[in-house]
Amino acid sequence: MEFAYVIAGLVVGFVVGLTGVGGGSLMTPILLWFGIHPTAAVGTDLLYAAITKSGGVMVHQRAHNIDWRLTGWLALASVPTTIATVVAIHLWHPDTHTLDNIMRHALGAALLLTSVAILLRGKLISWRQASLAQSTEHADVARVRVVCQTLLVGALLGVIVTLSSIGAGALGTLALFLLYPTMPTSRLIGTEIAHAVPLTLIAGLGHAGLGHVDWLLLLKLLCGSLPGIWIGSHLTGKLSDRALRPALAGMLAFAGARLVY
């Protein structure tokens, strides 16, 4: 099992570095399949994602693939909602069975939403580009509207990721594609990874304070994920994800349906 955890970390780290998608979406279902309780799976995966994506940030920064202003807008909204969600769980202090059920259904819903987002990404981006081409909105008004929408996306991600550890990659990247369709793909992926670091770190530390982190398991996952994301980040934009996207979406949809139903 120790070797299986390392291999799982390696594969997931590689996919995250390559596409910006798949951290929580892949790792959390894998941990559940290994028999880890939902609360421990979510908490451990959040810190795993924070440390793993920190390695990806260094690679993307050297390649100038990160828009730090956009990262700041997202974090400005996501960090407060992340803290508020952790505090709400702490104050409510539900029993383990109730919290496991909440986490399980939150995971399932996030997986299903993520799978749809992955499958429809191309169509949604095309629709967004056509909509912008026909827009007659003044540039300054459009800029303010996009900033407000960015803040809203960050706030929603803070809640979703804290409850399920899923969404920072797939949902966050899709939202950035829709809001900033002219930005290069590699730069969007790098920006999403940079934003995911403070988001998952704060959420993960919050869960750690609630006793929801398996530290030994985290160490095993990181042994594989750090080299995996380093390799994947260097290949960003060089490999097509046309084959990966449907397979990933199908697997996430199956896992999400199993958790919800």
Strand ranges (DSSP E) for 73-131?
none
Predicted local confidence at residue 201, as pLDDT = 93
Predicted local confidence at residue 138, as pLDDT = 64
Q: Does residue 16 contact residue 60 with C-beta atoms inside 8 Å?
A: no
The share of the chain scoring above pLDDT 90, in percent, equals: 19
Q: Does residue 178 contact residue 54 with C-beta atoms inside 8 Å?
A: no
Predicted local confidence at residue 104, as pLDDT = 72
Predicted local confidence at residue 198, as pLDDT = 92
Tokens, residue 13: 């780290």
Predicted TM-score (pTM) of the model is 0.77
Q: Is the pLDDT of residue 22 over 70?
A: no
Higher pLDDT, 238 or 163: 163
Range of the structural domain that residue 60 is part of? 2-260
Predicted local confidence at residue 218, as pLDDT = 92
pLDDT tens-digit map of 185-216: 778 878 888 998 999 999 999 999 988 899 99
3-state secondary structure of 165: coil
Region 16-27 average pLDDT: 69
Confidence of residue 183 (pLDDT cuts 50, 70, 90): confident
Region 37-46 average pLDDT: 87
Mark 12-34 as b/e (b = at least 16 C-beta within 10 Å).
Answer: bbbbbbbbbbbbbbbbbbbbbee
Residues in contact with 110: Cβ distance below 8 Å, sequence separation at least 6, in sequence order: 24, 25, 160, 163, 164, 166, 167, 171, 256
Q: Is the pLDDT of residue 182 over 60?
A: yes
Closest CA to 103 of 166, 22, 155: 166
Q: Exposed, middle or buried, 134 (CB in 10 Å: 0-12/13-18/19+)?
A: exposed
Q: Does residue 220 contact residue 5 with C-beta atoms inside 8 Å?
A: yes
Q: Does residue 153 contact residue 172 with C-beta atoms inside 8 Å?
A: yes
- Give percent helix, percent strand, percent coil of the chain, each to the nearest 5: 80, 0, 20
Q: Is the pLDDT of residue 98 over 60?
A: yes
Region 26-30 average pLDDT: 80
For all residues of the chain together, what is the average pLDDT? 80
Predicted local confidence at residue 49, as pLDDT = 84
Q: Does residue 220 contact residue 6 with C-beta atoms inside 8 Å?
A: yes
Q: Does residue 103 contact residue 38 with C-beta atoms inside 8 Å?
A: yes
From residue 124, alpha-carbon distances to 133, 161, 178, 259 in Å are 14, 22, 7, 27
Q: Is the pLDDT of residue 258 over 70?
A: no
Q: How many domains does the chain have?
A: 1
pLDDT tens-digit map of 106-165: 777 777 777 777 677 777 777 766 776 666 666 677 788 889 999 999 999 999 888 887
How open is the CA angle 190-194-191, to the nearest 5 degrees? Answer: 40
